């Protein structure tokens, strides 16, 4: 560096070639513009734009810095006319200026001259500027503060003994050096340092500003860490005063909302609080203690770092008695042994959610309580597990209800199990939705094989068409269905089944589901068939015997069956369920041999009532046409398995001709007798 350079700089200052460029500062939480930092540029007539690192050190060395700052401040204050009043302006102060006791006065003068309120001014002091001269620095800083300006500690983290500076000077802001911020996305150490500086700033109640915010990912990370303000290319590069209004319009018009909502929505922020970090903490605390869930946080050594009120209640111990103690001391060795694997794996990053645990209520040991316990590894901003978060949800009452429900469900299932009917249900279009276990054991078809139309494969080929037709009709018309088919059972045997189903409808009448039952009617069906066969056999006999036969039920004598011969003899149709009485009304009867005497009435009724065979009895029966004929009636009771009379059979013989022949013979005989008597 030559003396020419110093002269060149002095000339430049006189020609106002040193100008401030303005770079926006943005509130990370809202994306709103909060101010600008003024950064010096040398607009050199020959060399073009010169960056500050090339001429600031020169200015300091050649004692031109006071002049430079004065010129720059005037330019900044002048430009401030076009900047909204709520926005701050930051200016950099260099090392040598902090030994100049007249600096506050100069600033004050320039501000008054430009009618600029010093409350809008932030003076950035780099750490390196503070080495030595702390006594002067403290005096100057205090005076600057008294004038209304704010102080920022610039490039924090790059200099020496930074913490002492924070203690010595009344700073309002802490600026995290861009070198940490820019590398946050790829170096763990940078993230750690950035996190630590933000934490330090928050705890000292300082506004934290991050320089070098080049991407949204970094902005999100900083917001998550609790950093207040960001500055960097993401929000804009430094612009000359003539482009300021353009930059302003862009930032003020571009609605900040998308930025904020984006950063809140897309970042890994646990809670989108509209509050300052301290308020946020208070809110979190209130939530922590207020939720009806037991919560605690254990560090890597399984010691309680925090416990909420609810968990303290569950343990029946004050919150304070937990803190710093190992979990085994609170839970006891036995319980700790049980939970230890969960804790250890959680520390390795594994999550466990809703593990059910039962334990006696510490206050009422006879009451068992049920909890859902979840383990969640807690990670720091560099994704390292730093402890375990545990939650306990008391589900005792819910559990009780569930148990009661399960019990009644059990009852229900049992009832269904006892019921010989197999339940099934189907979609409105007839697709089978569900088949019970009993269907599976009956057919040997799995549930998967049976769903939809799979069940058809178990139906007898002869029954498939009628079954499908009936089912199709039912699903089309919505009418209940009742069908019978043979089903191939797991043993290969066909069994007759009866399937019935009714639709369930919604309030608009639309079918939402078919509910059906399947019933094994094979026994029934076979018995029915056997009966039909024996009935047919019986009918054949009935039809050929030369006498009338009528079968009637007990106790009222309703006709069940009759043969054509009976109708012939009785000269009327003997059809079920007429009373047999109607056919047996007789005028006169006499038993062969006449021992029974004259006894009107119905022999079948007597057989049924007395349970013994009656007859044969001869009766004269009058027909509807007024003629009469002799019949011989005999009745036998029919007994069921219990020995009770279930009905009776009456046989009817046409004895009219024979009877009349006999009568004729008897008449002839009496004639003969009379003739013999008169001859005598
Ligand atoms: P600084 O005060 O830390 O200023 C921030 C520097 O970071 C500026 O460089 C700025 O252009 C740059 N920067 C801003 N955003 C980003 C980003 O997203 N990525 C990267 N890579 N860089 C970014 P600039 O303007 O070259 O200033 C360099 C340094 O010169 C300043 O660092 C400051 O210490 C000093 N300086 C600038 N103007 C003045 C001044 O008027 N007076 C004094 N005493 N020093 C000044
Ligand atoms: Ca600065
Ligand atoms: Ca800086």
Domain ranges of the chain: 21-253, 277-398, 434-526, 545-662
Q: Which segment of 266-270, 309-313, 450-454 scores lowest on mean pLDDT? A: 266-270
**DSSP string of 315-356?**
HTS-HHHHTTSBHHHHH-HHHHHHHHHHHHHHHTT--EEEEE
Nearest to 288 by CA among 311, 267, 265, 272: 311
pLDDT for the residue 119:
96
Distance 122 CA to ligand 1 centre (A): 15
The pLDDT value given to residue 202:
85
Write out the DSSP string of 87-144.
Answer: -EEEEEE-GGGGG-TTHHHHHHHHHHHTT--GGGEEEEEEGGGGSS-HHHHHHHHHHH
Span from the CA of 277 to the centroid of ligand 2 (angstroms)? 24
- Residue partners of 247: CB distance under 8 A and separation at least 6: 22, 24, 236, 239
Among 115-119, 278-282, 530-534, which is the least confidently predicted range? 278-282
Ligand 1 centre distance from Cα of residue 162 (Å): 20
Residue list, ligand 1 pocket, CB within 6 Å: 23, 39-40, 51-53, 56, 72, 92, 94, 124, 126, 154-155, 178, 211-212, 214, 231-233, 238
Please tell me the chain's helix, strand, coil percentages from 3-state DSSP, rounded to the nearest 5.
Answer: 45, 30, 30
**Which is higher by pLDDT, 139 or 538?**
139
Beta pairing partners, 434 = 425
pLDDT band, residue 275 (cuts 50/70/90): very low
Contact between residue 38 and residue 76 where contact means Cβ atoms under 8 Å apart: yes
136-185 confidence digits (pLDDT tens): 888 999 999 999 999 999 988 887 656 777 888 899 999 999 999 999 98
Q: 267 C-alpha to center of ligand 1: Å?
A: 28
Q: Which residues pair with 153 in a beta bridge?
A: 125, 174
DSSP H or E stretch at residue 232: none
Task: Say yes or no to pLDDT of 447 above 50.
Answer: yes
Instruction: Name the closest-CA residue to atom 23, ligand 1.
Output: 212
Closest ligand 1 atom to residue 97 Cα is 44
Confidence grade of residue 242 (pLDDT, cut at 50, 70, 90): very high
- Determine the pLDDT at residue 228: 94
Assess whether pLDDT exceeds 70 at residue 583: no
Q: What is the pLDDT of residue 158?
A: 81
Ligand 1: residue whose CA is nearest its atom 37: 39
pLDDT > 50? residue 259: no
424 CA distance to ligand 2 centroid (A)? 78
| Average pLDDT rounded to a whole number, residues 447-452 | 89
Q: Which residue has the higher pLDDT, 642 or 138?
A: 138
Does domain 545-662 fall under CATH 3.40.50.300? My reply is no
Compute the distance from residue 11 Cα to the ligand 1 centre, in Å.
23
Q: What pLDDT is recorded for position 628?
A: 82
Confidence of residue 565 (pLDDT cuts 50, 70, 90): confident
Q: 149 or 362: whose pLDDT is higher?
A: 149
Q: Quick one: pLDDT at residue 301?
A: 92
Please give the pLDDT value at position 273.
38
Average of per-residue pLDDT across 361-377: 87
Length of the chain: 680
CATH class held by domain 434-526:
alpha beta
- To test the pocket of ligand 1, the residue of 23, 68, 92, 215 to mutate (highest count of ligand atoms within 8 Å of its CB) is 92
The arithmetic mean of pLDDT across residues 77-98, rounded, is 90
Q: In this structure, which ligand is nearest to the CA of 122? A: 2
Residue with CA closest to ligand 1 atom 35: 52
- At residue 599, the pLDDT reads 46
Of the chain, the percentage scoring pLDDT greater than 70 comes to: 85
The mean per-residue pLDDT over the stretch 561-574 comes to: 79
Residue 611 CB contacts under 8 Å (≥ 6 apart), including other chains? 637, 639, 645
pLDDT of 551 higher than 70: yes
Residue 269: what pLDDT?
Answer: 40
Separation CA 72–CA 21 (nearest Å): 10
Greater confidence (440 vs 534) lies with: 440
21-253: what CATH class? alpha beta
Nearest CA to ligand 1 atom 43: 92
* pLDDT at site 2: 60
Mean per-residue pLDDT for 443-464?
Answer: 91
Q: Mean pLDDT: which of 61-75, 92-106, 594-608 is highest? A: 61-75
Q: What is the mean pLDDT of the chain?
A: 83
pLDDT in tens, 301-360: 999 988 888 899 889 999 889 988 999 999 999 999 999 999 999 999 999 988 998 888
pLDDT band for 192, please (50, 70, 90 cuts).
confident
- pLDDT in the model for residue 79: 94
Which residue's CA is the closest to the ligand 1 atom numbered 4? 39
Nearest residue CA, atom 25 of ligand 1? 39
Q: Which residues contact 549 (CB under 8 A, 6 or more apart)?
A: 542, 561, 562, 563, 565, 566, 649, 650, 651, 652
pLDDT (average), residues 83-107: 89
Mean pLDDT of the region 629-641: 83
Ligand 1 centroid, distance to 41 Cα (angstroms): 10
Q: Which of the residue ranges 20-24, 272-276, 513-517 would you say has the lowest mean pLDDT?
A: 272-276
Residue 238's alpha-carbon distances to 23, 250, 430, 626, in angstroms, are 4, 14, 72, 134
Per-residue model confidence (pLDDT) at position 206: 93
Ligand 1 pocket mutation pick from 178, 184, 240 by most atoms within 8 angstroms of CB: 178
Please give the average per-residue pLDDT across 242-270, as a whole number: 59
* 282 — pLDDT class (breaks 50, 70, 90): low
Q: Which of 272-286, 602-616, 645-659 is predicted with the least confidence, judged by mean pLDDT? A: 272-286
* Fold agreement between 434-526 and 545-662: yes
User: Nearest-CA neighbor of 653 among 539, 579, 563, 541?
Assistant: 563
Distance (Å) from CA 211 to ligand 1 centroid:
9
- Tell me which ligand sits closest to the C-alpha of residue 155: 3
Q: How are strands ordered across the β-sheet holding 304-307?
A: 304-307, 294-299, 385-394, 368-379, 352-360
User: Can you tell me which atom of ligand 1 is nearest the CA of 72?
Assistant: 41
How far, in Å, CA of 204 to CA of 173, rounded? 10
What's residue 632's pLDDT? 83
pTM of the predicted model over 0.95? no
- DSSP secondary structure code for residue 74 in this structure: H
Phi first, then psi, for residue 249 (nearest 5°) are -60, -40
Measure the CA–CA gap between 40 and 51, rounded to whole angstroms: 8
What integer pLDDT is reported at residue 484 of this predicted model? 93
Residue 417: per-residue pLDDT: 56
Superfamily, domain 277-398: PAS domain (3.30.450.20)
């Amino acid at each position: 560096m030559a003396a020419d350079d110093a002269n060149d700089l002095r000339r430049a200052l006189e020609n106002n070639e040193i100008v401030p460029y303005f770079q926006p500062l943005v509130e990370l939480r809202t994306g709103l513009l909060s101010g600008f930092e003024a950064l010096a540029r040398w607009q050199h007539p020959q060399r073009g734009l010169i960056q500050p690192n090339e001429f600031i050190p020169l200015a300091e060395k050649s004692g031109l810095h006071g002049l430079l700052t004065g010129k720059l401040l005037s330019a900044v204050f002048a430009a401030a006319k076009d900047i909204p009043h709520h926005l701050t302006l930051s200016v950099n102060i260099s090392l040598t200026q902090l030994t100049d006791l007249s600096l506050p006065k100069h600033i004050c003068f320039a501000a008054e001259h430009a009618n600029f309120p010093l409350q809008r001014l932030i003076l950035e002091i780099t750490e390196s500027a503070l080495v030595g001269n702390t006594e002067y620095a403290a005096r100057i800083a205090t005076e600057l503060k008294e004038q209304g300006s704010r102080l920022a500690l610039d490039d924090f983290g790059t200099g020496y003994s930074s913490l002492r500076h924070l203690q010595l000077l009344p700073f309002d802001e802490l600026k995290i050096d861009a070198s940490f911020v820019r590398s946050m996305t790829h170096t763990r150490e940078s993230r750690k340092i950035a996190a630590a500086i933000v934490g330090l700033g928050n705890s000292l109640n300082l506004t934290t500003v991050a320089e070098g915010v080049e991407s949204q990912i970094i902005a999100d990370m900083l917001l998550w860490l609790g950093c207040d303000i960001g500055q960097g290319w993401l929000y804009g590069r430094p612009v000359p005063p003539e482009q300021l209004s353009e930059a302003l319009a862009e930032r003020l018009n571009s609605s900040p909302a998308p930025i904020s909502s984006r950063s809140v929505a897309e970042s890994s922020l646990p809670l989108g609080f509209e509050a300052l970090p301290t308020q946020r903490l208070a809110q979190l605390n209130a939530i922590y203690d207020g939720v009806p869930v037991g919560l605690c946080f254990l560090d890597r050594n399984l010691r309680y770092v925090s416990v909420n009120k609810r968990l303290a209640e569950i343990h029946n111990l004050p919150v304070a008695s937990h803190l710093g103690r190992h979990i085994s001391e609170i839970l006891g060795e036995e319980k700790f042994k049980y939970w230890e694997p969960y804790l250890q794996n959680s520390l390795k990053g594994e999550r466990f959610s809703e593990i059910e645990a039962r334990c006696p209520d510490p206050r009422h040991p006879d009451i068992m309580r049920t909890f859902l316990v979840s383990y969640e590894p807690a990670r720091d901003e560099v994704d390292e597990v730093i402890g375990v978060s545990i939650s306990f949800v008391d589900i005792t009452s819910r559990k009780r209800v569930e148990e009661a429900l399960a019990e009644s469900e059990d009852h229900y299932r049992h009832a269904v199990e006892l019921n010989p009917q197999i339940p099934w249900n189907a979609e409105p279009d007839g697709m089978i939705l569900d088949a019970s276990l009993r269907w599976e054991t009956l057919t040997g078809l799995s549930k998967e094989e049976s769903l939809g139309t799979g069940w058809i494969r178990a139906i007898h080929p002869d029954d498939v068409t009628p079954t499908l037709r009936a089912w199709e009709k039912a699903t089309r018309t919505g009418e209940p269905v009742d069908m019978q088919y043979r089903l191939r059972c797991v043993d290969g045997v066909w069994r007759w089944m009866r399937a019935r189903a009714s639709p369930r409808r919604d309030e608009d009448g639309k079918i939402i589901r078919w509910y059906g039952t399947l019933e094994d009617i094979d026994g029934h069906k076979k018995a029915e068939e056997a009966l039909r066969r024996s009935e047919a056999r019986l009918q054949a006999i009935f039809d050929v015997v030369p006498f009338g036969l009528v079968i009637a039920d007990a106790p009222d004598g309703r006709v069940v069956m009759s043969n054509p011969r009976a109708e012939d003899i009785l000269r009327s149709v003997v059809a079920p369920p007429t009373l047999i009485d109607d056919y047996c009304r007789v005028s006169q009867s006499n038993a062969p041999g006449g021992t029974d005497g004259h006894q009107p009435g119905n022999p079948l009724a007597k057989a049924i009532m007395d349970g013994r065979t009656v007859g044969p009895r001869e009766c004269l029966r009058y027909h509807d046409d007024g003629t009469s004929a002799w019949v011989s009636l005999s009745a036998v009771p029919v007994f069921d398995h219990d020995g009770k009379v279930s009905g009776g059979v009456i046989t009817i013989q046409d004895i009219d001709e024979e009877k009349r022949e006999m009568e004729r013979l008897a008449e002839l005989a009496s004639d003969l007798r009379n003739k013999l008597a008169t001859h005598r």
